[in-house]
Amino acid sequence: MSIEKEHFLSIIKQNFFLYLRFARHTAKVKNFPHVNEDPKESLLREFQNEIMGLKAFLSEACTGSCGEIRIGHTETHTHDSTDMKYSYQRMVVILMAVIHSTLENQ
């Protein structure tokens, strides 16, 4: 074999091994989808979900047995429906204040 041919074959062999190493490396790569979103928006969405949960809790408690709220499976506390609405409104105001202060601090 001529020297040029040997040199050419060694270059092909090197490229082939580089390609195999690259292929082995890329086979190990795992891609996971990730949504890029603003942290403020995600925090706001979490707070909105919490408010919706509190509204659902209040509506279940008010449509239950005349203002009785069951905590766990054994205890039952009775509250007047106006007290419950006031405490719910108070929770919403507190949550809104937390949302605004958190968004202002970021």
**Model pLDDT for residues 19-30, shown as the tens digit of each residue:** 999 999 999 988
**Residue 72, pLDDT above cutoff 60:** no
61-to-32, 45, 67, 68 alpha-carbon distances in Å? 41, 24, 6, 7
The share of the chain scoring above pLDDT 70, in percent, equals 74
**pLDDT: is 54 or 83 the higher one?**
54
- Are 91 and 53 contained in the same domain? yes
CA distance 50 to 9: 67
Q: Work out the end-to-end distance of the chain between its first and last CA atoms, rounded to an integer number of angstroms.
A: 71
- Are 45 and 17 contained in the same domain? no
- Are 6 and 52 contained in the same domain? no
Domain containing 93 equals: 39-105
The pTM score is 0.34
Q: What is the mean pLDDT of residues 56-82?
A: 55
- Are 67 and 25 contained in the same domain? no
Query: Which range, of 17-26, 59-68, 88-97, averages the lowest pLDDT?
Result: 59-68
Residue among 47, 56, 66, 63 nearest 88 (CA)? 56
